[in-house]
Amino acid sequence: MANQIVKWEVKNSIGTITLNRPEKRNAINGEVLEGINKAFSELSVNSEAKVILLQGAGPVFSAGIDFNHLAAVAQDDGRAAGVHLRESVDAIQTILNRIERVEKPIVAKIHGFCGGLGLELALTADFRLASESATLGVPEIILGIIPDCGGTTRLTRMLGPAWAKELIMTGDMITARRAYEIGLIHRIFPDSQLEAETNAFLTKLLQRPSLAIGLAKRAVDLGVGLEKLTHLEIEGLVQSLLITAKDFPETLKKGFATLLKK
Q: What are phi and psi of 56, to 5 degrees?
A: -120, 140
DSSP state letter for 76: -
pLDDT over 80 at 76, yes or no: no
* pTM recorded for the entire structure: 0.94
- CA distances to 50, 51, 63, 212, 214 from 102, in Å: 11, 10, 24, 14, 8
Start-end of H helices in the chain: 30-44, 67-74, 83-100, 117-122, 151-159, 161-170, 176-181, 194-206, 210-223, 228-243, 248-261
Angle between helices 228-243 and 210-223 (to 10 degrees): 170
Residue 140 annotated in active site: yes
pLDDT over 80 at 257, yes or no: yes
**pLDDT tens track for 114-134:** 999 999 999 999 999 999 999
Q: How confident is the model at residue 243 (pLDDT cuts 50, 70, 90)?
A: very high
Domain residue extents for the chain: 6-206, 210-261
Among 140, 195, 227, 250, which one carries the catalytic annotation?
140
Residue 120 annotated in active site: yes
CA 176-165-73 angle, to 5 degrees, is 90
Q: How confident is the model at residue 3 (pLDDT cuts 50, 70, 90)?
A: low
pLDDT over 90 at 68, yes or no: no
Average pLDDT over residues 63-67: 93
Strand pairing category for 6-11 and 14-19: antiparallel
Average pLDDT over residues 38-63: 98
Among 100, 120, 132, 197, which one carries the catalytic annotation?
120
**pLDDT tens track for 164-209:** 999 999 999 999 999 999 999 999 999 999 999 999 999 999 999 9
Average pLDDT over residues 26-31: 96
pLDDT over 90 at 71, yes or no: no
- Cβ-contact 21, 32 below 8 angstroms: yes
Task: List Cβ neighbours of 160 (8 Å cut-off, separation of 6 or more).
Answer: none
Lowest mean pLDDT among 8-17, 64-73, 161-170: 64-73
Give the domain 6-206 fold.
Answer: 2-enoyl-CoA Hydratase; Chain A, domain 1 (3.90.226)
Separation of first and last alpha carbons in the chain:
38
**pLDDT tens track for 10-27:** 999 999 999 999 999 999
Rounded-to-integer distance, Cα 128 and Cα 213, Å: 17
Give the pLDDT score at 178. 98
